[in-house]
Structure 1
Amino acid sequence: MTEHVLITGGAGFIGSRLARRLSSEGHRVTVLDSLIAQVHGDDPGTTSPLLRSLDGIATVIQGSVTSSDALARALSDVTAVVHLAAETGTGQSMYEIDRYVEVNTGGTAKLLDLLANTEHSVRRIVIASSRSIYGEGAYRTSDGRVVYPPHRADAAMAAGDFDVHVEGEGEGRLELIPTDESAKLHPSSVYGITKQMQEALIMTVAPTIGIEPVALRYQNVYGPGQSLKNPYTGILSIFSTLIRQGKEINIFEDGLESRDFVYIDDVVEATYLATTSPAAAGGVFNVGSGVATTVLDVVEALTEAYGRDIPTRVSGNYRLGDIRHNVADTTRLREVLGFTPSVPFAEGVKRFAEWVLTEPVEGDNYQKSLDEMAAKNLLK
């Protein structure tokens, strides 16, 4: 069945690629995007390659999900919604609290309110949730029990102890395991809280108004097209810019903290299936590689990819709200949607670096973002 899909935040990294994927299969695409300068530059028509990539494949409406009027215009004749629009900086969310709650939670509430109280043709909503809602995720004790450690204490990290602990379990006895969709939800940042709220609103309200909900809990998405000037996009972009500028990389904590990096093409395909497959209806799915990669491994892979030997420093600095590790259990994605992410990190980094080298070296906004966090006593 041909769909008319609205992608909120559709001029972004994931949304623009998803629009092309949908269009290639004959689906009609509308994009609603606020085109903020942090992502698209001061003059998006000329400074945003992502926006330009939508020419001829999507109808673009500039507007915010916090505007009922913009949402109403964008929803005209739409049969499916992929709700990507969100503020995304974990650290920034800890001091721009009102903005994150207004856009992420408030925008989702406005979308649902319109659908609940006006005529529409929407049959499915896919919400871009996040691994951040798991907090520290799942671990196994020495006697085989699965536990979900609490947020790490400031005092412990200040003393150089960056590991997670569960009271009464002793030291060094917790084994990191993949986190599945039944795990405890206990986000450690304002961003994570708003993503949990977005997901809960969609999964609770949509069925009551006859709409199929689907939640995708994205892990750390990366790849060609990712913003190189937005300091909140992720460490691969940040470190790439520092390497090209010849600047030192300050590695936080002890460098052994890890993330589940998932390549953009895999994320787009999973999202396409979530939007179009009947089997996805009502489901909650992790979208990740299922592999944990440490920050030290990231730095090594990037310096090799760029052929640059740059100074690094394992500083012991840390940010409040950060988690120690995360790795997704992707069994449900495979069993229900028949999809397994296929691009390994080594190959994905190579493709990413090849693209980065075709782009201009961007200005360094990363240090400014760190200075803001330090001023708020969130970076130690």
Structure 2
Amino acid sequence: MPESVLITGGAGFIGSALARRLATEGHRVTVLDSLVRQVHGEDPTTTSPLLRSLDGYAQVNVGSVTSSTDLSNALADTSVIVHLAAETGTGQSMYEIDRYVQTNVGGTAKLLDLLVNAPHSVRRIIVASSRSVYGEGAYRTSDGKTVFPPYRDAADVAAGDFDVHMPGETALELIPTPETAPLQPSSIYGITKQAQESLIMTTAASIGVEAVSLRFQNVFGPGQSLKNPYTGILAIFSTLIRQGKPIDIFEDGHESRDFVFIDDAVEATARACTMPGVGGSVMNIGSGVSTSVLDVVDALFQAFGTTVPVVVSGRFRTGDIRHNLADTTRARELLGFEARTPFVDGIRRFVEWVQTEPTELDDYDRSLAEMSARNLLK
């Protein structure tokens, strides 16, 4: 049955791909997006391929989730909301705290306030949560216990001890983090994503709206922002490779992430929009595979067919975690979802797309300087 879907942040990386997918399946799609310069450029109508990709697929409302008027206008006749709108970037969140909280938490509160206090036709809301809500995630001790370590001590990391430790335990082994893990975010961004999720799951249940939380891991692929220096090492490293500049790898390069290709992330989200019986669920959306930063660089070099100098600097950012690896059992059981795109295939497709795009002005050094000036990059 066709739905009327509102995607907040729908001109972004995941949102625009989801909008095209849902429209192709016969759903009516409305997008609400503020078209921030950091992602879409100075003049989005000419500088944002993501915005142009929505032509013929979605009605685009330019506006902010921090405006009740903009939200109300976009909500007309909506049956399903996919709430993607958020400021993203762990490092930047640590010094633009007010902006992140106002958009991510305040915008979510305004959306829910409308659903509670005004007539609407919404039956389900999907919120884009994040791997960042877990902090360091799950590990196994030498005697087989599952533990959830606290955030790494800054003094240890500064001394070159990048591993995760648990008081009273020796060596820890990384294991997939399940949705039942305690939530202990280590960045302002992670805190705001936890707040978004909690606000929506609690409020929706009280007003008879089904809610689904998708805790996305590191989503990548064609279409991700090459302008935003605060998110996505793939985009950052690709720009450096194209410019022939050296890559500075933080920590020791063995830190790792669970990368999930954009087509797989969209598949999971589309299923969450329409699959019966998933209301009230929280699910990890990832590949279930952990890939180190050094392996990321090697994969990019292979895909580009060239190399640049690599420096493993030992520097680190406040708020960064060591590893993340998702337990994807619940998404498989509830959505029938399993990531289909191996990392190396996704990288190849990503690089093929990158090479068709203009090389963006490099704001990466400026972003590092901003963090260094606030003692957040050490």
Return the TM-score normalized by structure 2: 0.99
Deviation at 1:233, TM superposition (A): 2.6
Give the alignment of 1:28-43 within 5 angstroms.
28-43=28-43
What amino acid does structure 1 have at the position aligned with 2:40? H
Runs of 4 or more consecutive aligned structure 1 residues displaced over 3 Å after TM superposition? none
**Cα distance in 2 for residues equivalent to 1:153 and 1:6:** 42
1:17-166 → structure 2 map (5 Å cutoff): 17-166=17-166
The aligned residue for residue 217 of structure 1 is 215
Aligned partner of 1:377 in structure 2 is 375
After TM superposition, the structure 1 = structure 2 runs for residues 1-380 of structure 1, keeping only pairs within 5 Å, are: 1-170=1-170, 173-380=171-378
How far apart are the structure 1 equivalents of 2:56 and 2:118?
A: 30
Q: Provide, for residues 59-109 of structure 1, a one-character-per-residue CA deviation record: whole Å limited to 9, x for no partner.
A: 100000000000000000000100000000100000000000000000000
Q: Deviations over 1:181-216 (max 9, x none)?
A: 001110000000000000000100001111000000
Return the alpha-carbon distance in structure 1 between the equivalents of residues 6 and 231 of structure 2. Answer: 23
* Equivalent-residue separation in structure 2 for 1:286 and 1:339 (angstroms): 11
Gaps of 5+ in 1: none
In the alignment, the residues of structure 2 paired with residue 52 and residue 309 of structure 1 have an alpha-carbon distance, to the nearest angstrom, of 33
How far apart are 1:153 and its partner, in Å? 1.0
State whether residues 6 and 30 of structure 1, in contact with CA within 8 Å, keep that contact through their aligned partners in structure 2.
Answer: yes
SS of structure 1 residue aligned to 2:70: helix
Displacement of 1:154: 1.0
Distance 2:281 2:339 in 1: 18
Q: Which amino acid aligns with 2:54?
A: L
Shift of 1:279: 2.8
1:279·1:337 contact (CA, 8 Å) conserved in 2?
A: no
**Residue-by-residue CA offset, 1:297-347 (whole Å, 9 max, x unaligned):** 000000111011210000000001000000000001111111101101010
Deviations 1:233-268 (A, max 9, x none): 300000000000000000000000000000000000
Q: Which amino acid aligns with 2:346?
A: G
Tell me how far apart the structure 2 counterparts of residues 187 and 368 of structure 1 sit (CA, whole Å).
26
Which amino acid in structure 2 is aligned with residue 66 of structure 1? T
CA distance in 2, matches of 1:339, 1:100: 31
Rounded Cα–Cα distance in structure 1 between residues aligned with 2:149 and 2:4: 43
- Give aligned pairs, total: 378
- For 1:218 and 1:127, how far apart are their aligned partners in 2? 10
Question: Does structure 2 conserve the Cα–Cα contact (< 8 Å) formed by 1:273 and 1:280?
Answer: no
- Unmatched runs of 5 consecutive residues or more in structure 2: none
Amino acid in structure 1 at the alignment position of 2:128: A
8 Å CA contact retained: 1:226, 1:233: no
RMSD: 0.6
User: In structure 1, how many angstroms separate the alpha carbons of the residues matched to 2:231 and 2:2?
Assistant: 33
CA distance in 1, matches of 2:357, 2:35: 20
Cα distance between partner residues in 2 of 1:306 and 1:233: 21
SS of equivalent to 1:221: strand
**TM-score normalized by structure 1?**
0.99
1:97-153 per-residue CA deviation (whole Å, 9 max, x = no partner) reads: 000000000000000000000000000000000000000000000111100111011
Greater mean alpha carbon deviation, residues 268-277 or residues 225-234: 225-234
> CA–CA distance in 2 between the matches of 1:357 and 1:126?
33
Q: Aligned-pair distance for 1:368?
A: 0.7
